[in-house]
Amino acid sequence: MMAAVRPVIVAGNWKMHTTPGDAGELAAAIAALIDEPSVTRVICPPFVALAAVGEALAGSGIEVGAQDVHHEVSGPFTGEISAPMLQGLATWVICGHSERRRDACETDERIGRKVARALEHGLRPILAVGERLEEREAGAAERVVRVQLEGALAAGDIEASDRLVIAYEPVWAIGTGRTAHGSDAAAMAELIRSTLAEAGWGSDAGAVPVLYGGSVTAANIGEFLSQPALDGALVGGASLKPDEMAGIVARAALTARARQAATTGARRSA
């Protein structure tokens, strides 16, 4: 039986930008330019703009994601948002973004529990992993990513799931003017899947989409999507610019259609 082709995914992380008043307008402007059903498209606005963005994207085929979720379902956690609270507002959620690890001191244990809560409540998690500059320069990049992934899987008791997506985000390439090479990111994607396989996922590990998330732009996305091991991007600042998002999604659509055509051809010749 032939393995299913992995989806090509472009997820925009708006971070702490936009208000409920202007988020819907921006989402609508982006939606008008990224009508590419072959690509799974997700926009992750701030919590307060989820409803406005959801309304603006209704009927477009573009999904809505949250930027974080709490590791408990409910409780005395002032200012936090739980997975049940997101139901009806989002279908995706980012867990473990490097800025959350840095600013909120999130641990692999806590991030793993967030992923588990998301899966339990029908949200599709994007688990972000990646190394800092000093870790890469010390030759520890692969060890850091492996430990982050293993720690999250163990803490959340996460078994093989066709809903998990992983984003490799080299922290040293985010907002610094430095970028990773496509081959480096592809090698890390292979490491991620081998780590999943070793954690008991077996052949299911090969079906897990891995996105690149290090200062993605329309100008550099092609280098990453030319790598068969990579399946799209977690886009930061460029996701706030309609023309940039249009360029990124257009390039992603070329990859998606090429993969589908290759799969169809292989099935016909089988």
> Active-site residue numbers?
97, 169
Among 197, 264, 232, 236, residue whose Cα is nearest residue 36: 232
Q: What are the structure tokens assigned to 103, written together?
A: 């600013």
- Asked whether the beta carbons of 217 and 244 are under 8 A apart, the reply is yes
Burial tier of 263 (Cβ tally within 10 Å: 0-12, 13-18, 19+): middle
231 touches 7 (CB < 8 A) = yes
How far, in Å, CA of 226 to CA of 17, rounded? 30
Query: Pick from 121, 124, 96: which is nearest to 109 by CA?
Result: 96
213, 201, 109: which is closest to 162 by C-alpha? 201
Could you tell me if residue 139 is left (phi over 0), alpha (psi between -120 and 50 degrees) or otherwise beta?
left
Asked if residues 232 and 39 have their Cβ atoms less than 8 Å apart, the reply is yes
CA 75 – CA 69 distance, rounded (Å): 13
Closest CA to 228 of 1, 6, 4, 2: 6
Contacts of 89 (CB under 8 A, 6+ apart): 50, 51, 54, 64, 66
Gyration radius from the chain CA atoms: 18
